[in-house]
Amino acid sequence: MARRRPTAALAVYRAPPRVSTPRPIIIRQTTAPRLKKRRSSGRRSGGGLLAGGGGVVAVAVTSALIGLAESAGLMAKLPAIPLVGRKGALAIAAYYYSRHGGGAIARDVAIAAAALSGYELGKSGTVSGEDY
């Protein structure tokens, strides 16, 4: 018997090759890896004896310097404000200066002057330098 020819040819479908459009070239600068934030291991103390921290020694030294300035006559050059006197005027001026760039030393001066004027007002009823 003779070979038979297939009556229908098998059709094989092939998809056309895909051609993609050229993509833009993007160049990125490499960045350093982010560092982990370290937590502080506890509360750190302030500066030295006189600056920073607002310690007792800084206020004591400032009070001594105010006493020396008063005995030398330098406090007499400050204006006397009623009810607060010259030490109170120094406290107000130092407080204002500490809030506007004076730093920790000006804050210590303000605390010491306010403490001295409050002590004097409580003890004698007047603050030295009141002119009324």
Question: Which residue intervals of 11-103 are DSSP H helices?
Answer: 56-72, 85-97
d(CA 90, CA 102): 14
Provide the pLDDT confidence category of residue 96 given band limits of 50, 70 and 90: very high
At 48, the amino acid letter reads: G
Pick the more confident residue, 13 or 72: 72
What are the two backbone dihedrals, phi and then psi, of residue 27, each rounded to the nearest 5 degrees? -110, 120
d(CA 7, CA 4): 9
Q: What is the pLDDT of residues 23-72, one digit of tens each?
A: 888 888 888 888 888 777 666 555 555 555 557 888 888 888 888 888 89
Question: Contact 127/115 with Cβ under 8 angstroms?
Answer: no
Looking at the chain, the whole-number percentage of residues with pLDDT higher than 90 is 8
